[in-house]
A and B are shown apart, each in its own frame.
Chain A
Amino acid sequence: RKEVEQDPGPFNVPEGATVAFNCTYSNSASQSFFWYRQDCRKEPKLLMSVYSSGNEDGRFTAQLNRASQYISLLIRDSKLSDSATYLCVVNNQGGKLIFGQGTELSVKP
């Protein structure tokens, strides 16, 4: 089983759509969880940390279910500028980040 597994994508959605990304992780001892976005040939940029209680930042909502080892990201009212690859990232212990393969999102006018 992959350490971090994401929906394979790509997702092609119209502007204004709501899109959800799913992610599962294999190590139940994982400590911290993040969503990063990566534009083509650029560095991963932190989108948001994910907390057990769930958290929201504007149009973005992240959820964590430790029992199911499942993380999600919801984007509401998607914009053209949301087009990117979304990376589910897990920190097991210490600092090592483990990345999922990423899910590509393309928002069309």
Chain B
Amino acid sequence: EPEVTQTPSHQVTQMGQEVILRCVPISNHLYFYWYRQILGQKVEFLVSFYNNEISEKSEIFDDQFSVERPDGSNFTLKIRSTKLEDSAMYFCASSERGALEQFFGPGTRLTVL
């Protein structure tokens, strides 16, 4: 069964450093998403991406965040200068169409020290 994959599974970084989280969505899916979940809190939407551009972003997704689809398979989330409060689980998801079910990757646990 096709699945979304994410690397790394755990990333530890120093405050102020840049991190890139990587995702490989399901191959025939056209819509890609990033969500995050701070420990003990609910899953929050960050950004959606379709046709090589951002279709929607949340208030959390400020200028420190960017997304890219550098080739036909990868989808990345970059945080330019990490803050302590960026520590969270980051989930990538994909769907065939915008309103359909989304399938989530296993997540990257980001720890900012």
Contact = CB atoms under 8 A, between A and B. Distances in A.
Given A31-B99, A43-B104, A99 B43 contact: yes
Contacts of A32: 99-100
B107 interface: yes
Nearest to A34: B101
A41 interface: yes
B21 to A, nearest CB: 14
A41 B9 CA distance: 12
Interface stretch (A17-25, A55-63, A65-73, A88-96): A88-96
B15 to A, nearest CB: 23
B103 interface: yes
B48 interface: yes
Looking at chain A, what size class is its interface with the partner chain?
20 to 34
A103 B11 CA distance: 28
B18 interface: no
Given A42-B106, A43-B91, A91 B44 contact: no
Interface of B: 31, 33, 35, 41-45, 48, 50, 55-56, 58, 89, 91, 93, 95, 98-107, 109
Given A46-B102, A94-B98, A96-B48, 5 more contacts: A31-B99, A43-B91, A43-B105, A94-B99, A100-B42
